[in-house]
Amino acid sequence: MLHSLLLKRHFRSAQAVSLSVLMAGGCGSSMACSLDAQRDYSIAGGTLSNALLEVGRLNGCSIVFDPGLISRMHSDGVRGHFSGYDVARMLLHSSGFELVLTANGTLTLQPTDIQVKRTSAGRGV
């Protein structure tokens, strides 16, 4: 439970940082973000943040997240022919996070355990 609360607190942090394709030394801004296309990937093991940046760079996407959330997480990397979505799922498997595409086309890293609690209206006293 404490882990869940810490994740939520970090997620809401105002320190969210945009780690864009250009910061990672990626391709020009003329490339549109697309994670649907199948392509060959050869992402080496290392930090999860570097692996996610590489997925963004290869697909022309910006990924927004607080680096502190995943600073201690590592990835085994990915090799093979997959869609960008599949690679992101593989990298994030068991991390407690998922990539969510926002309305403006930015990918954000969000905890998978955020749930909306439903409350029922009580009967009048």
For 38-47, how does the pLDDT look when each residue is reduced to its tens digit (9 = 90+)? Answer: 999 999 999 9
Q: What is the pLDDT of residue 89?
A: 93
Confidence at residue 67, expressed as pLDDT on a 0 to 100 scale: 86
Residue 32: predicted pLDDT:
76
Domains of the chain: 2-111 (3.55.50.30)
93 contact partners, CB below 8 Å, separation of at least 6: none
Q: Which residues of the chain have pLDDT under 70?
A: 1-31, 114-125
Q: What secondary structure does DSSP assign to 1-35, as a single string? A: -HHHHHHHHHHT-TT-EEE-TTTTT---TTSPP--
- At 84 the pLDDT is 93
Q: What is the CA radius of gyration of the chain?
A: 17
